[in-house]
Amino acid sequence: MLWKLSPFLAKSQLRYQSQLATAYLPTIYALSTAPGTKSAIAVVRISGTHSKYVYHQLNNSEKKLIHRRTLLRNLYGPGKNLLDKALTLFFDSPKSYTGEDLLELHIHGGKAVTGSVLNAIGSLNDRNSGIEIRYALPGEFTQRAFQNGKIDLIEVEGIRELIDAETETQRRCALSSFNGMNKNLFMLWRDKIVNNIAQLTAIIDFGEDTEIEDTNNLLQLVKHNMVQLKQEINQFIQKIEKTSILQSGVKVVLLGPPNAGKSSLINSISNDDVSIISHTPGTTRDTVEASIDVNGYKVTISDTAGIRSHSSDEIELLGIERAIKKSEQCDLCLLIVDPLNKPLINEDLTQMIQSMYKEGKEFVIIVNKQDLLTDENQSKSVMDALREKFGDKFPIITVSCKTQEGIEPLVKQLTQIFQRLSETSDESDPIIASRRVKEILHSDVLYGIDSFFVTTDSEIGGDSYDVVMASEHLSHAADGIGKITGDAVGIEEVLGVVFANFCVGK
């Protein structure tokens, strides 16, 4: 292929850029803000060797670009057609997000404007002259940043989580991952394994000149260290499994008779009405699922309309059965009661709650419509009736969805339960890890450590062949951590997984 570099590339730049891992890849461009929507501003990113060339062509000038200086410039298309007036921002390689020369065009966000600017950039592609420019693939800007050593895979996954974050806790999770909190821990583990491999190497190298007892002691020390490390890794996995509830959402089932105020409660405990992400009929005709944000926690709430009254109606009975199934899978049940209902809670519902309690299900009873209770005795007799049925097993909270009285304490109580379920707190940042990381921890790191145990358990006592094997197993574990961060061989196979869910322009 004939390869000619952009005429606007300075010699020193050329030298640096040619050292980049992505130096000989085409220059890429994409709309980095949401496509297909009308907005005041849209940002187009261009990254690669020909970014400056794109700028000079669109701007119809050869004026020098200055690193990190914003400039207001006219942008022209083919035929010197004025397209827009844009704020341009240039990042000199390597001090850019991708490590390459990177240009940002902050243009007006209309469909026609963005379309014409993107077309104009695309029209500059001229392979015969070695100026290869094409639209970016999903996640390609971040992939280049990774390839050029600007970020590691943990940060890449953190960026993806950050973009996808819908709630405050998800954002905090993503940021801690992005800030390298997990990475520091992984590197610490890797150092531990490598140090222990070094101890084993000493046995291999000097084993014959060493007393059998010393060799055994050394091996025992390495085993002891690995037992501790395995414990640490398992604790970490347990923690991320708990925290994964923040990503998938705490599963809450809302039980209660019709008209008790279930829908009103969903709106009252959501941060706002807009936070209802989806409100779609569930898989059964009598369950509705909504994804809401409760004080920064993602909550998937199922409204089970099935439990009405003692019924011989087949459909009603089916509804009860389904509600029970739904409740079995949930993390928390909210029972909402209308204090003016007679009976307060029907027999079917009471039985269901009793049996779920026995299975260790968490409940909160909410007595709604407090504004309708004018007499204090009324309120007391409702509480007494509930206590008589359930004792002190569950917290009972009185609210009025109409006046919002009691909603704040309820949200506080729910937050405490969510914190407990996800093992998070206000003080410490929650941690998350992707499915990929979890899999590697199991299939490479723990597997390597376990294989080390199998080898060393089979024969302790100076058989250097076994020690070599043991050391190999630990190397496998250390390589696993390299795979997680992206420093190890075999990285190509994981790139596809990591970048699969990225959007174009990121």
Ligand X SMILES: Nc1nc2c(ncn2[C@@H]2O[C@H](COP(=O)(O)OP(=O)(O)OP(=O)(O)O)[C@@H](O)[C@H]2O)c(=O)[nH]1
For ligand X, which is the closer residue by CB, 131 or 307?
Answer: 307
Give Cα separations from 262 to 258, 259, 269, 336 (angstroms). Answer: 8, 7, 11, 7
Residue 265 beta carbon to ligand X: minimum distance, rounded to whole angstroms: 7
For ligand X, which is the closer residue by CB, 136 or 260?
Answer: 260
Give Cα separations from 427 to 166, 259, 294 (angstroms). Answer: 21, 39, 18
**Residue 22, strand partner residues:** none
Residue 240 beta carbon to ligand X: minimum distance, rounded to whole angstroms: 36
Instruction: Give the closest residue to 453 by CA, choosing from 281, 222, 213.
Output: 222
3-state DSSP percent of the chain in helix, strand and coil, to 5:
50, 15, 30
DSSP 406: T
For ligand X, which is the closer residue by CB, 305 or 349?
Answer: 305
For ligand X, which is the closer residue by CB, 404 or 443?
Answer: 404
CA distance 234 to 242: 12
Residue 439, classified by CB atoms within 10 Å of its CB into exposed (0-12), middle (13-18) or buried (19+), is: middle
For ligand X, which is the closer residue by CB, 244 or 264?
Answer: 264
Residue 394 beta carbon to ligand X: minimum distance, rounded to whole angstroms: 19
The C-alpha angle 451, 453, 459, rounded to 5 degrees, equals: 110
Residue 368 beta carbon to ligand X: minimum distance, rounded to whole angstroms: 5
For ligand X, which is the closer residue by CB, 231 or 309?
Answer: 309
The first and second tokens of residue 429, run together, are 């940042």
Residue 55 beta carbon to ligand X: minimum distance, rounded to whole angstroms: 57
Helix (H, G, I), strand (E, B) or coil at 310: coil
Instruction: Give the closest residue to 207 by CA, choosing from 454, 473, 453, 470.
Output: 470
Name the residues that contact ligand X, by CB under 6 A: 258-264, 305, 368-369, 371-372, 400-402
Residue 254 beta carbon to ligand X: minimum distance, rounded to whole angstroms: 8
Instruction: Give me the count of residues in the chain.
Output: 506
Residue 11: half-sphere exposure toward Cβ, Cα within 13 Å: 0
For ligand X, which is the closer residue by CB, 255 or 441?
Answer: 255
Residue 321 beta carbon to ligand X: minimum distance, rounded to whole angstroms: 18
* Peptide bond preceding 258 in cis form (omega within 30 of 0): no
